[in-house]
Amino acid sequence: MDDQECTIFCVARTVGSIARVNHAATVVNGLIYTFGGYSNSLDEAYTAPTSGRIRRIPIDVHIIDPETFRCTALPSAVRSEGQHPAAVPYMRYGHTVCTVRANPETPHSSEESTQSSIDNTISCVLLWGGRSDVMGSSNALHVYDPRRRRWFMPRVRGTTPAPRDGHSSCVVRDRWMYMFGGYDDEIGALTNTLYVLDVAHWMWRLVDTTGAPPLWRDFHTATVIGDLVYVFGGRMEGIIDEEYYDNN
């Protein structure tokens, strides 16, 4: 963009959408897929039941067509044929999603040796982390196949990050998903640890970094340009006596 060009924002009113916050979204084949988030109309997913019986409400998935701005709610995957119920993530906020070409053929741990017929030439969505006030936070990896509208849980190995929300995730070279920061439930505080998931082998690793790392934070962004990941903004605590928001 040169000095003579300008960028114009416009408000496009979507049809069929529900207002929400702290959801996650990614692009697959030119369509915007949104997952979960918090909304007043979804209170039952986040409010502890008075009966004491916890309902595990599956996460909702919507598709937004950027050409027509129509938002379509997809049927719950729990009811689809062949879907393992435990592989469907529960409703949550503060999670991340990334699009990557992957092969989540490894079955869910509670299944037998049945293999899904997904190949490694399609775009999948990796969903990680997030929390619900009812179910708590999560560190399970869920993989969504947009073609079949089904969820899978590959058998991951290595050093899995602790449950958290408010972290950031991004994919480098269509193979490595980097996850940074967030609120770590195991230590009860914000963190600045960096993990990487090798999608080719479903292997987690804690990255031993050099230099001056970003301070601990949550609800920041991480963006990939080439082979570099740019972390910006976020909320920090403990630097001063109140919440601090970073612009570095």
Q: Which of 18-27, 97-106, 112-121 is the most confident on average?
A: 18-27
Percent of the chain with pLDDT over 70: 81
Nearest to 118 by CA among 85, 89, 82: 82
CB 63 within 8 A of CB 71: yes
pLDDT higher at 121 or 218: 218
pLDDT band at 80 (very low <50, low <70, confident <90, very high): confident
144, HSE (Cβ side, Cα atoms, 13 Å): 27
Nearest to 87 by CA among 150, 134, 179, 162: 150
Q: How far is CA 97 from CA 7, 80, 88, 205, in A?
A: 27, 22, 14, 19
* For residue 117, pLDDT beyond 60: no
* For residue 75, pLDDT beyond 60: yes
Whole-angstrom distance, CA of residue 226 vs CA of residue 96: 20
pLDDT tens-digit profile of 15-25? Answer: 777 788 999 99
Q: What is the pTM of this model?
A: 0.85
> How many beta carbons lie within 10 A of that of residue 167, not counting itself?
28
* For residue 209, pLDDT beyond 90: yes
* For residue 150, pLDDT beyond 80: yes
Give the residue-averaged pLDDT of 163-173.
97
The mean-pLDDT minimum among 41-50, 93-102, 107-116, 232-241 falls in 107-116
- Does residue 143 sit in helix, strand or coil? strand
**Averaged pLDDT of the chain:** 84
pLDDT band at 122 (very low <50, low <70, confident <90, very high): confident
